[in-house]
């Protein structure tokens, strides 16, 4: 496998979670994954406001202070990039950010719930979707556009959907959407539009590039595909022992070795976590911690008896809906929603 | 150019500065570059202390609170990875983190100066070097070791060398060396050892792997090479206009376009900045801002008249010592100290 310069340019500017940072139930700022399509915009919060309009009875214009004066909620949310795992796909996939497994993080997002604001504006009877548009502008797929995504009205009205102005107790840093971003718990990260400037209620399915063209599961270029929505179940383990700098292989002494990690799903609570030390041929049950929250990852642990030799550690989450992780990456052209099990090479030596 | 999986693994976990973040004179936390050889260690600050020993009259053991109670200084410092530019080298270089141009950042580091602490300990007459050892452990070049680097005693005694416990006014986050790191202004980043646990005064040149083997400018594997020390002059520009997601090419409307950027050198103040819009064939003088500090980058600006067509923007810094940036990457086996001019592709269209 080799990565072309175009993809390296993206890998150099977008940030993954260093896997040892899975030890933190809430990811420290600076370690959470970041996928930024265009540029981080420079926003003067004093000259910024949010427009809420379209098919509503009472369009609203809100300053940051007005948003902060509204009811406030804080929710721990696990966000994962829909392209996580892309670089591990076999086959001639489309070029994009070459994530391995590290495009994830969990933060405590603070903001005001969207549903009461939408209710206040009063969607028209024919309202179908809500379009969220950011300040960030660029060209993708030969189309110049502001980054924008939509949600079905019913999803936008879920009580856990936030307009967030703080993360981990601090104002949003520029890279996480300052001054305001959407946070849609349970969905892949592309949904949680950063640097929000407008929210528009519409009657027709939104045809913007990031909605209608990107983020579709397609078998090939002719396939219309299915849109990406909620996160598939996934789990990661903290690579144990110490690493080799270049290969990232791990060295572990023989004996008991506590494996730990996190697991999540956007389709229901994680109810089972299995660990394999032989690359997925045999599995054992891990212990799940209490959930951090309904929309955040769940810690797990498993005491592995490390025998001298070479091992391939894997973990596999199963959610309440019975969905689990495949051993091999599921194919789609854009390399989306690849929740195949992580594989960590370990050498046990005395 | 293509990047193998091993290098992608490093690119996925280490973080570059998104180039638009050059707009900030002080880099926000989470956007500063990060190069982490092994794993970010989990450190309990209450169970942590710093040992200062070796060839000294009075060895010291200091808690974090004791260090914070000492004289405090805050210095803006530009840190750059010695491997910045590695991936742009032509030829069969050694594998490592594949940086393009983004391994840099400027932060306000707060801590206690090292020199008075060393004076208090009292180096022996035959003291030659000071060895700084981190808590982070791993294998590199087939050698298992804690990350450690040394400085000649005279360099360690420079008044601007800090033991830092805060960055940008906040306690160090885990990834920047919590609870304590060395900051050596002017030198490439490998010198500023993170997660410090000991400082040892020694009489002989330190033979640790990161000092004696790594970070040497070698023509080939047989070459003994020269050690990497201070940062070569370098400059970067904020890519103007809007980007194409994948190619990162820029689109700019015709007319006046203010180009801005930052320039630095570890070998003397930056005294000249030139801009080229034709890939380095012709150059014009940019305006330099007042320096942010003796050891931090210097802002610059240049009003470019953007004519329709395709252009390659470059910038070139020259420091007080007369050192400047080459047009082509200088060769060395490990791809170190590549300060060749940045090249930004721009399409000007109405």
> B155: part of which helix (H) or strand (E)?
helix B153-156
Nearest CA in chain A to B140: A245
| Confidence band, pLDDT 50/70/90 cuts, at residue A232 | very high
Helices A5-13 and B5-13 meet at what angle, rounded to 10? 20
Nearest CB among B5, B20, B96 relative to A40 is that of: B20
Nearest CB among A10, A140, A242 relative to B137 is that of: A242
Give the Cβ contact number of residue B266 at 10 Å: 22
Domain identity same for A200 and A332:
no
Average pLDDT over residues B304-311: 98
CA gap A241, B97 in Å, rounded: 21
Domain identity same for B299 and B166:
no
The angle at the Cα of B39, spanning B34 to B43, to the nearest 5 degrees, equals 100
Residue A2's pLDDT is 80
pTM, to two decimals: 0.97
Distance from CA of A125 to the nearest CA of B (A): 37
Q: What are phi and psi of B45, to 5 degrees?
A: -60, -30
Domain identity same for B24 and B168:
yes
Domain identity same for A196 and A267:
no
B90: pLDDT strictly greater than 90 = no
Of residues B7, B184, B185, B175, the one with CA closest to residue B99: B7
Contacts of B175 in chain A (CB under 8 A): 18, 21, 28, 30-31
CA gap A311, B318 in Å, rounded: 52
Cα separations (Å) of B123 from B54, B134, B147, B153, B154? 9, 21, 23, 9, 11
CA gap B54, A22 in Å, rounded: 37
Residue B3's pLDDT is 84
Distance from CA of B195 to the nearest CA of A (A): 15
The angle at the Cα of B42, spanning B41 to B46, to the nearest 5 degrees, equals 125
CA gap B242, B21 in Å, rounded: 14
| Percent of chain B topping pLDDT 70 | 100
A65: pLDDT strictly greater than 90 = yes
| Confidence band, pLDDT 50/70/90 cuts, at residue A3 | confident
Domain identity same for A238 and A146:
no
| Confidence band, pLDDT 50/70/90 cuts, at residue B350 | confident
DSSP character for A278?
A: B
Asked whether the beta carbons of A24 and A297 are under 8 A apart, the reply is no
| Confidence band, pLDDT 50/70/90 cuts, at residue B265 | very high
The β-bridge partners of A76 are: A108
Structure-block tokens of residue A52: 């809420």
| Confidence band, pLDDT 50/70/90 cuts, at residue A110 | very high
Does A5 sit within 8 Å of B139, measured CB to CB? no
CATH of the domain at A260: 2.60.40.650
Average pLDDT over residues A220-230: 96
Domain identity same for A55 and A202:
yes
Contacts of A239 in chain B (CB under 8 A): 39
Domain identity same for A184 and A256:
no
Domain boundary (B181, B214, B247) is at B214
In a domain, B227, yes or no: no
Structure-block tokens of residue A321: 């809906």
Residue B91's pLDDT is 86
In a domain, A223, yes or no: no
Domain identity same for A188 and A245:
no
B1: pLDDT strictly greater than 80 = no
| Percent of chain A topping pLDDT 90 | 97
In a domain, B222, yes or no: no
Cα-Cα-Cα-Cα torsion A136, A137, A139, A145, nearest 10 degrees, comes to 110
Structure-block tokens of residue B163: 């033991």
Does B18 sit within 8 Å of A243, measured CB to CB? no
Helix, strand, coil share (%) of chain B residues, nearest 5 = 15, 40, 45
Average pLDDT over residues A234-247: 98
Nearest CB among B3, B36, B138 relative to A3 is that of: B3
Helix spans in chain A (H): 5-13, 64-68, 114-121, 153-156
DSSP character for B56?
A: B
Domain identity same for B295 and B203:
no
Instruction: Decide the pairing of beta strands A162-167 and A104-113.
Output: antiparallel
Tell me: the pLDDT tens digits for B127-166? 999 999 999 999 999 999 999 999 999 999 999 999 999 9
Tell me: the pLDDT tens digits for A17-46? 999 999 999 999 999 999 999 999 999 999
Contacts of A175 in chain B (CB under 8 A): 18, 21, 28, 30-31
Q: What are phi and psi of B162, to 5 degrees?
A: -115, 150
In a domain, A219, yes or no: no
In a domain, A88, yes or no: yes
In a domain, A10, yes or no: yes
Domain identity same for B239 and B202:
no
Asked whether the beta carbons of B253 and B350 are under 8 A apart, the reply is yes
CA gap B192, B71 in Å, rounded: 20
Nearest CA in chain B to A136: B242
Residue B81's pLDDT is 98
Domain boundary (A179, A214, A249) is at A214
Instruction: Decide the pairing of beta strands B344-348 and B250-252.
Output: parallel
Average pLDDT of chain B?
A: 97
Instruction: Decide the pairing of beta strands B50-54 and B196-202.
Output: parallel
Nearest CB among B12, B175, B248 relative to A16 is that of: B12
CATH of the domain at A164: 3.90.420.10
When computed from its CA atoms, the radius of gyration of chain A, rounded to whole angstroms, is 21
Nearest CB among A37, A39, A175 relative to B30 is that of: A175
Q: What are phi and psi of B338, to 5 degrees?
A: -80, 100
Distance from CA of B9 to the nearest CA of A (A): 7
A350 class by beta-carbon count within 10 Å (0-12 exposed, 13-18 middle, 19+ buried): exposed
Nearest CB among A87, A102, A144 relative to B13 is that of: A102
Domain identity same for A17 and A109:
yes
Helix, strand, coil share (%) of chain A residues, nearest 5 = 15, 40, 45
| Confidence band, pLDDT 50/70/90 cuts, at residue A230 | very high
Residue B217's pLDDT is 98
Distance from CA of A120 to the nearest CA of B (A): 35
Domain identity same for A124 and A253:
no
**Residue range of the domain that includes B63:** 5-214
* Complete DSSP assignment for A101-130: S--EEEEEEEEEEHHHHHHHH-B-TT--EE
Contacts of A190 in chain B (CB under 8 A): none
Structure-block tokens of residue B181: 């790191």
Cα separations (Å) of A80 from A220, A239, A309, A337? 24, 19, 34, 10
Distance from CA of A61 to the nearest CA of B (A): 27
Domain count within chain A: 2
B133 class by beta-carbon count within 10 Å (0-12 exposed, 13-18 middle, 19+ buried): buried
A91: pLDDT strictly greater than 90 = no
CA gap B320, B291 in Å, rounded: 13
Tell me: the pLDDT tens digits for B202-252? 999 999 999 999 999 999 999 999 999 999 999 999 999 999 999 999 999
Cα separations (Å) of B7 from A35, A103, B14, B18, B99? 19, 17, 11, 19, 10
Contacts of B30 in chain A (CB under 8 A): 15, 29-30, 32, 34, 173, 175-176
In a domain, A181, yes or no: yes
CA gap B33, B101 in Å, rounded: 11
Does B100 sit within 8 Å of A8, measured CB to CB? yes
Tell me: the pLDDT tens digits for B60-89? 999 999 999 999 999 999 999 999 999 999
CA gap B158, B233 in Å, rounded: 21
Average pLDDT over residues A232-241: 98
Does A15 sit within 8 Å of B245, measured CB to CB? no
Residues ≥6 apart with Cβ < 8 Å to A142 = none
Residue A302's pLDDT is 98
Domain boundary (A155, A179, A214) is at A214
CA gap B187, B77 in Å, rounded: 10
Cα separations (Å) of B291 from A125, B103, B264, B294? 59, 21, 10, 7
In a domain, A227, yes or no: no
Q: What are phi and psi of A264, to 5 degrees?
A: -155, 165
């Amino acid at each position: 496998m080799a990565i072309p310069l175009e993809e390296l340019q993206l890998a150099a500017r977008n940030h993954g979670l260093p896997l040892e940072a899975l030890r933190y139930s809430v990811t420290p700022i600076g370690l959470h994954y970041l996928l930024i399509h265009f540029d981080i915009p420079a926003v003067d919060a004093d000259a910024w406001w949010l427009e809420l309009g379209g098919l509503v009875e009472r369009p609203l214009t809100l300053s940051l202070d007005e948003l902060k004066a509204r009811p406030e909620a804080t929710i721990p949310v696990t966000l994962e990039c829909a392209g996580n795992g892309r670089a591990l796909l076999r086959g001639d996939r489309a070029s994009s950010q070459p994530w391995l497994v590290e495009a994830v993080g969990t933060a405590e997002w603070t903001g005001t719930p969207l549903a009461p604001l939408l209710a206040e504006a009063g969607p028209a009877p024919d309202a179908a979707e809500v379009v969220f548009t950011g300040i960030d502008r660029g060209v993708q797929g030969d189309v110049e556009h502001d980054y924008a995504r939509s949600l079905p009205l019913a999803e936008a009205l879920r009580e856990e959907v936030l307009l967030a102005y703080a993360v981990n107790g601090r104002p949003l840093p520029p890279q996480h959407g300052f001054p305001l971003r959407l946070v849609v718990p349970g969905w892949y990260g592309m949904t949680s539009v950063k640097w929000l400037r407008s929210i528009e209620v519409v009657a027709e399915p939104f045809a913007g590039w990031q909605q209608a063209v990107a983020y579709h599961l397609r078998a090939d270029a002719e396939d219309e595909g299915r849109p990406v929505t909620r996160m598939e179940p996934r789990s990661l383990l903290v690579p144990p022992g110490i690493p080799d700098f270049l290969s990232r292989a791990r060295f572990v002494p023989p004996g008991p070795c506590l494996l730990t990690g996190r697991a999540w799903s956007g389709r229901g609570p994680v109810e089972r976590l299995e660990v394999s030390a032989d690359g997925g041929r045999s599995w054992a049950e891990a212990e799940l911690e209490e959930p951090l929250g309904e929309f955040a990852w769940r810690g797990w642990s498993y005491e592995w008896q490390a025998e001298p030799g070479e091992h391939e550690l894997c973990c596999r989450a199963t959610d309440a809906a019975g969905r689990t992780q495949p051993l091999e990456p599921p194919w789609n052209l854009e390399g989306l929603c690849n929740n195949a099990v992580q594989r960590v090479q370990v050498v046990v030596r005395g």
